[in-house]
Amino acid sequence: MSFSPAGKYLPFPPVRLPDRQWPDRVHERAPVWCSVDLRDGNQALAQPMSVEEKLEYFELLVRVGFKQIEVGFPSASQIEFDFCRRLIEEKRVPEGVSLQILCQCREDLIVRSLEALRGAKNIIFHLYNSTSPKQREYVFGASRADIKGIAVRGIELLKKHMGPLVAEGSRIQLEYSPESFTSTELDFALEVCEAVTDVWQPTADNKIILNLPATVEYATPNVHADQIEWMCRHLTRRALTLVSLHTHNDRGTGVAATELALLAGADRVEGTLFGNGERTGNLDIVTVALNLHTHGIETGLDFSNLPHIREVYERCTRMEVPPRQPYAGDLVFTAFSGSHQDAIKKSWPHQKPGRPWDVIYIPVDPHDLGRTYKAIIRINSQSGKGGVAYILETEFGYSLPKLMHKEIGKLINDIADQRGTELTPDEILAAFQREYLEQPAASVALKEFRTTERGAQVSCEADLVVRGEAIRLAGQGNGPIDAFIRGLAATGRIPACDVQSYSEHSLGSGAEARAVSYIQLKLADGRSLFGAGVDTNIEVASIRAIISALNRALG
């Protein structure tokens, strides 16, 4: 950097805790888990999940084993309210699963939230208000007493209005968050939590949840652990309290902060599958739970089919799990290095039933997660789609879109299965070119393609050979692809289709560089197929990609 950060950025103050106990502790049991995917994770999406997607995601969370699920902010929008009602009215909440909702400390919002929860058996009512000095100064212009008053008043209002639900059989547990806890003076955070607890009066059968969020991660994980241990020591009704964590990942240490805070005495963890959330995300529950799993601790969560969990997550959230994401990424059980492959191969036969897991470079048995080890530099019938795509990109420059990986992976696996041998990179390239680019048995061939532009409209003409017959098509659209698709439909000779996705990149560099396009078509019969095209002209490459997909459909 061209400037010194000293003076502009201040170090985070340490906690005075000279006799801290957490460094000498070890994890012995799993915490209580609470998924906030459907609230915190959903609000962080560019395109929030639909109600149907949220229902599918809720069912996934239940199957994984979550007993506490934050389902939304029902007082914030009608969609959130309706989703909560559907879960209850359609009896989708299994016995023993608690619905958690988030609400600010305002009477109208509390009343609205209780309406959304009518008929739920187990409820966690999550109230919060911001407590940090900067929030008090910049946002609220409020004193400590004012902020504490907001929290206390919120609990009083909840107790005032929740009577009808309790009379109907609902069990309501309070969760309170001094939002921005880690940026709040510890003595004041304690003061607010104690005041809230005084009003709520928890019991051994219905403990209060005090959620102490790292709303923004400012400090190193050891400081977070000190803050949690300090609070655990000073809470006067610690035995009637579940101390909860909600760590964000601004410094990239959300997992470490959570693990150390559990050593410091926390009982409960909030987070999301794969860490989706505001900015750099929430805590990744999959990672923390499987870290405990690899230390022999029963977590209560079932990740034995992690690929399926990931598939639902990616489809419903439209987010992608990075290839190096712990446990779930495409490449985490992959060895690129020849020496690593050799060590794994030699240590694997020594793994016997009943013996502790001890395979070099592989800290968890992939089969525990429904996965397998892959040495993708050597491609055979067991190689994954990520390995095939990796070879095509690193060896030959074809950067296939992610959705295409599954298609090409199956193609290569089928060929390897038929041959019963490994495939070399050149053989993989030849199979890709034969399937997508050369297509020796093509039903449709492009002879010539021309476009003209007039304002926002593009007109195209193309000469094709369709099953041996020469035809000329013409079409108009908002671009060359749209015009060509419309022209195809007008011929009546080609199945109706729509473009689902499109991407392109250069192949090579300099004056000799060509363009490669990838297009996914959806056909009238519901099938989706990719095509690829290469040409020195990007427009023609795109048209060749459409024809490639059509030939695969017709073939």
Query: What is the residue extent of each domain of the chain?
Result: 27-317, 338-435, 444-554
pTM score of the predicted model: 0.70
Cβ neighbors of 9 (< 8 A, separation 6 or more) are none
pLDDT at 443: 86
Which tokens is 85 given?
Answer: 């009602």
State the amino acid at position 113 in one-letter form: S
Position 375 confidence tier, pLDDT thresholds 50, 70, 90: very low
pLDDT at 352: 86
**Once rounded to an integer, what is the mean pLDDT over residues 152-169?**
98
Which tokens is 34 given?
Answer: 């609470």
| Paired sense of beta strands 497-507 and 514-523, if any | antiparallel
Position 386 confidence tier, pLDDT thresholds 50, 70, 90: low
Cα(309)–Cα(330) distance, integer angstroms:
14
pLDDT at 2: 67
What is 444-554's CATH topology? Double Stranded RNA Binding Domain (3.30.160)
Position 423 confidence tier, pLDDT thresholds 50, 70, 90: confident
DSSP letters for 508-555: S-GGG-EEEEEEEEEETTS-EEEEEEEESSHHHHHHHHHHHHHHHHH-
Contact between 167 and 122 under an 8 Å Cβ cutoff? The reply is no
Ordered strands of the 528-535 beta sheet? 497-507, 514-523, 528-535
pLDDT at 455 exceeding the cut of 90: no
Position 491 confidence tier, pLDDT thresholds 50, 70, 90: confident
Position 339 confidence tier, pLDDT thresholds 50, 70, 90: low
pLDDT at 392 exceeding the cut of 80: yes
Cα(435)–Cα(438) distance, integer angstroms:
7
What is 27-317's CATH topology? TIM Barrel (3.20.20)
**Once rounded to an integer, what is the mean pLDDT over residues 25-37?**
97
Give me the numbers of helices (H) and strands (E) for the chain, helices first please. 18, 14
CA distances from 368 to 36, 350, 364, 377, 480 (A): 25, 18, 8, 24, 49
- Ramachandran assignment for 373, one of left (phi > 0), alpha (psi -120 to 50 degrees), beta (any other): beta
Backbone angles phi, psi at 410, to 5 degrees: -65, -40
Per the DSSP assignment, residues forming a β-bridge with 125 are 101, 174
